[in-house]
Amino acid sequence: MRNIYPKAVALCTVFLLLACGIALAQQKITIKGRVTDAQSHSGIPGVSIVDADLKKGLAVTDPNGNYTVTIELNKNLLFRFIGYEDRVLKASKAELNVALSPAEKFLKESVIVGYQTRSKETVTGAVSMINKKDIQDVPVTNLEQLLQGKVAGMNIQNISGAPGFGGSINIRGISQLNISGGGDEAFLSSSNPLLVIDNVPVDYDGGIDQSMLQPGAATGPLSLLPPEDIESIEVFKDAQAASLYGSRGANGVIVITTRRGNSAVPIINLNNSIFLNTPPQLRPVQGGNLERDFRTYTILNHSEYDFLAKQQFANAQFLSDSLNGFYNNSTDWQGLFYQRTINSNNNLQISGGNSKMNYKANLSYQMNQGIIKNTGFNKYIANMQLNLMPTDRLRISGQLFAALGQKQRGNGGGLTGNGAGNAFTSSLL
């Protein structure tokens, strides 16, 4: 027994020391304090107080910045609030006041100007971007119609309603038509922007004034691009365009990028849409029998004497001639010009590849008949691309783009409408 007793005493002493250490480690403390701004010394409401070790939220300061938390002694407290630097303090005393300093963080963005990369703060250029989601699934025949209302500061005027006709685009510039000359010698001067389609600059009107006497004289280049093949459209509005493309970009630049292949498995897309064009509400007119009855009623009810009415009927024999062709027939002269049309748009695209090698073949056919008879625009488009990038510094691209537009111009004189209505008078005259 003498040998066992000292060992038991030693073991009990060890257990007591461990229990005291554990109790001391789990001892909790209640801390009160106030969180203030380091500059104004005013209380900050809504500051989050977090156990920095366990990442657990403990409390939030009241409207005056005061708080009360209970935590284990010597734990780390994290004080966090948006717009201020985070601060971590030890929970070592019952009162703990904290001053937070405002955080000064700046977002640095970069843009590419020409072939240089600059920070956004040093660039004042205005660029608008339209992606494919903004223009897809809209049954229109001309890409100009899709751009209307999409870009601030860009004014698109559809000068003629003829299908396929090139309108006028002004980017932060002249908001009216530039017309030089007058009468039959009037010409519409160009203020259209430069088009860049897949890195190839294209003059919108080829540098040739559009004659106002020839209907649909110029075919718009945007009408030859199928909307289903567009990946993105970027519009450069100011001097940044000139820094990229020189004097040709003085009226702004529209950069159009078509789709690329991006799939290990070939993807086949087939789009087909059918849409109906109807003429607007036309003016109500009288002709033939209605016009004859109206004139007869006017003579009979507004003549002062009966013999005057008989004299007017005698001088206008066509009113009393039942065999007169104008009496028996009533021609809808407006209907000779306008019509309802059913049009179709068909697009087939095959694409595939990856970042090192991709390919695409796009075939499109569109039939568009105008609501005015003998007007229309049919187009056939083939766009094929092959892109190779064996290294990060070498890119090889091949592209074949062919487009054929068949336009029916109808009658009349374009913008002035000369010759369209010269032969139209009353059916009874």
Q: What pLDDT digit, counting tens, does each position of 353-380 carry?
A: 888 899 999 999 988 888 888 888 888 9
pLDDT band at 15 (very low <50, low <70, confident <90, very high): low
> Does any domain span residue 8?
no
Interval 213-230 mean pLDDT? 68
Q: Comparing C-alpha atoms, which of 1, 73, 6, 62 is closest to residue 34? A: 62
> Does any domain span residue 388?
yes
- What region does 65 belong to: left with phi over 0, alpha with psi -120 to 50, or beta? left
> Does any domain span residue 422?
no
Q: Comparing C-alpha atoms, which of 204, 201, 199, 205 is closest to residue 258? A: 199
Mean pLDDT, rounded, of the chain: 75
Distance in angstroms (rounded) separating the CA atoms of residues 80 and 51: 11
Start-to-end CA span in the chain (Å): 147
> Does any domain span residue 190?
yes
> Does any domain span residue 347?
yes
3-state SS class at 3: coil
167 and 296 together in one domain? no
293 and 267 together in one domain? no
Domain CATH code at residue 59: 2.60.40.1120
The amino acid occupying position 47 is: V
Q: Which of 31-45, 102-116, 186-200 has the lowest mean pLDDT?
A: 102-116
Distance in angstroms (rounded) separating the CA atoms of residues 169 and 215: 19
Torsion over CA: 209, 213, 218, 223 (sign): positive
Which comes out higher in pLDDT, residue 34 or 127? 34
Interval 134-147 mean pLDDT? 74
146 and 263 together in one domain? yes
189 and 210 together in one domain? yes
> Does any domain span residue 122?
no
Q: What is the pTM of this model?
A: 0.54
202 and 303 together in one domain? no
3-state SS class at 365: strand
43 and 155 together in one domain? no
364 and 271 together in one domain? yes
pLDDT band at 183 (very low <50, low <70, confident <90, very high): low
364 and 308 together in one domain? no
- What region does 276 belong to: left with phi over 0, alpha with psi -120 to 50, or beta? beta
Interval 396-404 mean pLDDT? 87
Q: Which of 163-177, 184-198, 259-273 has the lowest mean pLDDT?
A: 163-177
269 and 296 together in one domain? no
Distance in angstroms (rounded) separating the CA atoms of residues 295 and 201: 63
Position 210 pLDDT exceeds 50: no
What pLDDT, on the 0 to 100 scale, is given for residue 211?
Answer: 42
Position 421 pLDDT exceeds 50: no
What pLDDT, on the 0 to 100 scale, is given for residue 424?
Answer: 44
> Does any domain span residue 214?
yes
232 and 368 together in one domain? yes
43 and 149 together in one domain? no
What pLDDT, on the 0 to 100 scale, is given for residue 338?
Answer: 85
Interval 69-78 mean pLDDT? 88
> Does any domain span residue 115?
no
High-pLDDT (> 90) share of the chain, %: 9
| pLDDT, tens digit, 9 for 90 and up, residues 268-279 | 989 888 888 888
71 and 155 together in one domain? no
Distance in angstroms (rounded) separating the CA atoms of residues 385 and 199: 13
Which comes out higher in pLDDT, residue 139 or 128? 128
**Could you count the other beta carbons within 10 Å of the beta carbon of residue 424?**
11
* Residue ranges making up the domain that contains 202: 127-279+340-409
Number of domains in the chain: 3
Q: Which of 40-49, 129-138, 171-180, 348-357 has the lowest mean pLDDT?
A: 171-180
Interval 346-354 mean pLDDT? 90
Position 114 pLDDT exceeds 70: no
